[in-house]
Amino acid sequence: MLEEAKKQLDEQGYVLLPGVITDTRREALASRLGELYAAEGPEAGSEFRTEAGANRLANLVNKGAIFSDVVVEPEVVELARHVLGQDVKLSSLNARSALPGGESAQPLHVDMGLLPDEKGPSGLNSIWMLDEFRLDNGNVRLVPGSHTLGLRPQDALADPSAPHPEELRVTGNAGDVLVFNAHLWHAGTANESDTPRLALNCFYCRRDQPQQVWQKRWLDEALQSQIDGELRSLLALDDLENDRLSENPAERSGFMKATR
């Protein structure tokens, strides 16, 4: 099944992995995120972004071992290495809760505003569906194959917020993971239901790219000293070139202006 997933990822730019997150794990992740939202209040997500119509959390590796396990999820890491090459790192691990009220719609965008270069794709994102993604509660719209165009939506479309004639609306069950090329045109849709819709975003990039959230800067030093193995490598904690790249990246999101 993973070989089929790689093929679809290459050709269409996305693949939905069913049932990656067990119910027990999903409930534990959602519970911890609820605790963090309550504790951080208005400051939630400020290490990365705040967003109208959605609640965010960032720097999650610093906030519980349960999130470190997300970073090293074998299926997703293998797909990241398939698209980006073997030498990958975590760019960011954030949470996004699309709030009711219909204000959480995003324009079509590519992550970090980046385009493929002579080395190929530079990023791969994954959305961990902690709630069911339905047509009415802020699911994902994407344009299959658009990762091959070499264009950003804002440079090719009159209105990236408008429906696209070739877009697909991706729905999924709680526990599924949507994996997609970061250069694929995609967006979160408006949550028109009466309850929030919760997900994690685990984003990987090539070693020669800046991290969205500079892990070394935000992780507690005591925690850094305890991290080893694959997780330490994926966080790029010993990578001096990553420090240089990530200190002041020009753009951290594909559609929102920097706030920090």
Residue 9 domain flag: yes
Instruction: Please report the pLDDT score of residue 254 as a whole number.
Output: 67
Q: Please give the Cα distance from 149 to 221 (Å, whole number).
A: 42
Per-residue pLDDT of the chain (260 residues), as tens digits, is 899 999 999 999 999 999 999 999 999 999 999 999 999 999 999 888 788 899 999 999 999 999 999 999 999 999 999 999 999 999 999 999 999 998 889 999 999 998 999 999 999 999 999 999 999 999 999 999 999 999 999 999 999 999 999 999 999 999 999 999 999 999 999 999 999 999 999 999 999 999 999 999 999 999 999 999 999 999 999 999 999 999 877 667 766 543 32
CATH number at residue 231: 2.60.120.620
User: Would you say residue 85 lies in a domain?
Assistant: yes
CB distance 143 to 167 below 8 Å: yes
Say if 99 falls within a structural domain: yes
Q: How many CB atoms lie within 10 A of CB 176?
A: 19
**What pLDDT sits at residue 258?**
35
Q: Does a structural domain hold residue 16? A: yes
Domains in the chain: how many in total? 1
Tokens of 182: 């970061």
Query: Quick one: tokens of 154?
Result: 């804002």
Half-sphere CA count of 170, side-chain side, radius 13 A: 26
Beta strands 177-181 and 123-129, pairing class: antiparallel
Residue 237 lies in a domain: yes
pLDDT given for residue 158 in this prediction: 97
Per-residue tokens: 240: 């001096």
The answer to whether position 257 is within a domain reads: no
Domain presence at residue 253: no
Residue 152: inside a domain = yes
Q: Would you state the pLDDT for residue 257?
A: 44
Q: Which domain holds residue 126?
A: 2-247
At position 175, the amino acid (one-letter code) is G
Report phi then psi at 65, rounded to 5.
-60, -25
